């Protein structure tokens, strides 16, 4: 089963609705240059709202080139289940954060060419997130060549790969069929405005992912 992450949640009601729709991960953006940025205290309330709607949902905190101590402070205040490093962090920073907070760490990689995904196995993380290159560090609504992701998943079968970048209810089924990722990550593809989720689109996304999973399962 393909897991589902909806990122860039900024509203309490949206957090509850997204979780209730059946997603596996709710993403909170702690990069203060993002249109979907949330400050620590509000993030804690959003996380509480999501967990109240669906206790098993995991809260993912997105950081860009943040110091490990800052990440640890926010983790303690919000109760993050996963940290996603979405900047230029080296492998050593991934290890430092994981050791400091004792939680899984994901590393986002911008994919523009085949070379960008050539060394996925070198990252000491629990999952790698494959995203389209963008100045906004994700959430651009732009896709990248899924052939690169397909090759990466085939080559690194022991690596959890999260597919992001321009996914919507309309194209996520084709993406899953092509790439077979461990999880998918969507922000702008289920929004009415940056940080404001469209609940009908969220439900349509979940339905499309499950339909794609079913179609894959039916193949010999």
Just list the catalytic residues.
7, 131
Question: Both tokens of residue 15?
Answer: 């957090």
Question: Both tokens of residue 19?
Answer: 């979780």
Write the CA distances from 85 to 30, 50, 88, 107, 130, integer angstroms.
Answer: 10, 22, 8, 5, 12
| Burial 20-56, CB ≥16 within 10 A → b, else e | bbbbbbbbbbbbeebbbbbeeeebbebbbbbbebbee
Q: Cα(first)–Cα(last) distance of the chain, in Å?
A: 16
For tokens 């894959």, the residue is 216
For tokens 């909806």, the residue is 6
């Amino acid at each position: 089963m393909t897991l589902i992450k909806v990122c860039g949640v900024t509203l309490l009601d949206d957090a509850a609705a997204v979780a209730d729709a059946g997603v596996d991960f709710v993403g909170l953006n702690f990069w203060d240059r993002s249109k979907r940025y949330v400050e620590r205290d509000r993030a804690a309330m959003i996380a509480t709202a999501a967990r109240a709607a669906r206790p098993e949902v995991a809260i993912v905190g997105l950081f860009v080139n943040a110091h490990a101590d800052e990440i640890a402070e926010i983790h303690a205040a919000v109760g993050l289940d996963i940290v996603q490093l979405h900047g230029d962090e080296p492998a050593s920073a991934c290890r430092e954060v994981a050791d400091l907070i004792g939680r899984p760490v994901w590393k986002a990689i911008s994919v523009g060419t085949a070379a960008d995904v050539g060394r996925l196995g070198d990252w000491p993380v629990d999952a790698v997130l494959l995203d389209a290159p963008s100045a906004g560090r994700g959430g651009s609504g732009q896709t990248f060549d899924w052939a690169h992701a397909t090759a990466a998943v085939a080559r690194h079968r022991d690596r959890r790969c999260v597919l992001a970048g321009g996914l919507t209810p309309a194209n996520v089924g084709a993406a899953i069929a092509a790439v077979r990722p461990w999880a998918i990550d969507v922000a702008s593809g289920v929004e009415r405005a940056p940080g404001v989720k469209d609940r009908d689109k969220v439900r349509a996304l979940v339905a499309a992912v499950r339909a794609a999973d079913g179609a894959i399962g039916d193949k010999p």
